[in-house]
Amino acid sequence: MKLNKKDVLGISELTADEISSVLDIASIMKKIILSGTKKTNYLRGKTVLTLFYENSTRTRVSFELAAKYLSADTININVSTSSVAKGETLIDTGKTLDSMGADIIIIRHSMSGAPHLLAKNVNSSVINAGDGMHEHPTQALLDMFTIREYYKSLKGLKVAIIGDIYHSRVARSNIMGLIKMGAKPVIFGPSTLIPTEIESMGAKLSPTIDDALYQADVVMGLRMQLERQKHALFPTKNEYAKFFGLNESNMYLAKENALWMHPGPVNRGVEMSSNVIDGRNSVINEQVTNGIAVRMALLYMLSGKESKKEVNYNNIISIPMQEVYA
Ligand code: CP
């Protein structure tokens, strides 16, 4: 199945079949990354722009690498030195980039819904790289890809998501995606950082951290998002680490081979101890590599939106771009 959409704005808009297709293509893309060549021509002639109004290391760099590995022309727009700093609106910035021939614009913004507004006003495809406290779809896709690599299927897996759920777009996207794929997300965090609507999304709220971690197949820590907190929502970082932190003395409650995950960046010693971050079951660095594969898959699948011909993804490595989209 191809991704028959102009934009990727949220996990809420993807079906389970579409998520599976992205993960399948990402598996092929990962082979390209690990092959050492790291170069294909599938996006030759396409222009990919990254427009980040918020800080990022992993997402921005992995999108740029993904586009480069696919031979697209890539430009990273530095918002602080662009005309945004002179007061240009998001829509005007988008239309300007559209007029320059952008094929795909990747946007991160502190306002929820900014990627949707941009997508409505440009011809280019738009990918949401994180909007406020709303969604971070590519993070959820790379997390599901990482879990699927180990377990083959997400069906029935207990995924404990621990920490600042309220401010976390990663948690929202993951909860939606995991449920669509048949997994069972279980959440725990300070009561001040649990949104009231979370159980209506299908996640189970655990009464204690021990209950959340018990026999979990996957444990996902979340970053304490101090920059999004207008008021102090917990007493001190030390107390947070003591009552809500993931460490070797509570991780033993999860299954012996449980995956230890974190989207990064991590506040070491706050939401996760160094023993866990660098521990035997940690897949945090694999998540980063998988992020490139998943983003390559999305760029590839979106760039084919005008294709009249069905793409044979099984032959993706061996067939030249011209034949795919001729
Ligand atoms: N996980 C994530 O979104 O990291 P960055 O903020 O570094 O992009």
Residue 323 has pLDDT above 50, yes or no: no
pLDDT reported for residue 224: 87
pLDDT reported for residue 85: 84
CA distance 129 to 251: 30
Beta strands (DSSP E) in 207-292 are 218-221, 259-261
> And the tokens for 27?
């598996």
pLDDT, mean over the chain:
91
pLDDT reported for residue 3: 82
Expressed in percent and rounded to 5, the helix, strand and coil fractions of the chain are 45, 15, 40
Residue 233 has pLDDT above 70, yes or no: no
Residue spans of the domains in the chain: they are 11-135+290-322, 137-286
Pick 84 or 30 by higher pLDDT: 30
If one residue of 56, 106, 138, 169 were mutated to test the ligand 1 pocket, choosing by the most ligand atoms within 8 A of its CB, it would be 56
CB atoms within 10 A of CB 252: 11
* Cβ–Cβ under 8 Å, residues 290 and 142: yes
pTM: 0.92
* Domain 11-135+290-322 and domain 137-286 have a common topology: yes
Q: State the distance from the centre of ligand 1 to the C-alpha of 307, rounded, in angstroms.
A: 32
Q: State the distance from the centre of ligand 1 to the C-alpha of 292, rounded, in angstroms.
A: 12
pLDDT tens-place string over residues 255-269: 999 999 999 999 999
Query: Residue 228 — very low, low, confident or very high, per pLDDT cuts 50/70/90?
Result: low
pLDDT tens-place string over residues 234-244: 668 888 899 99
pLDDT reported for residue 37: 86
Residue 317 has pLDDT above 60, yes or no: no
pLDDT reported for residue 53: 96
Top CATH class of 137-286 equals: alpha beta
Decide whether any atom of ligand 1 lies within 6 Å of the 227 Cβ: no
Pick 75 or 318 by higher pLDDT: 75
Is 11-135+290-322 a domain of CATH 3.40.50.1370? yes
pLDDT reported for residue 316: 47
pLDDT reported for residue 226: 67
172, exposed or middle or buried, with CB in 10 Å at 0-12, 13-18, 19+? buried
Question: Percent of the chain having pLDDT more than 90?
Answer: 81
Residue 195 has pLDDT above 70, yes or no: yes
Q: State the distance from the centre of ligand 1 to the C-alpha of 65, rounded, in angstroms.
A: 15
Query: Residue 229 — very low, low, confident or very high, per pLDDT cuts 50/70/90?
Result: low
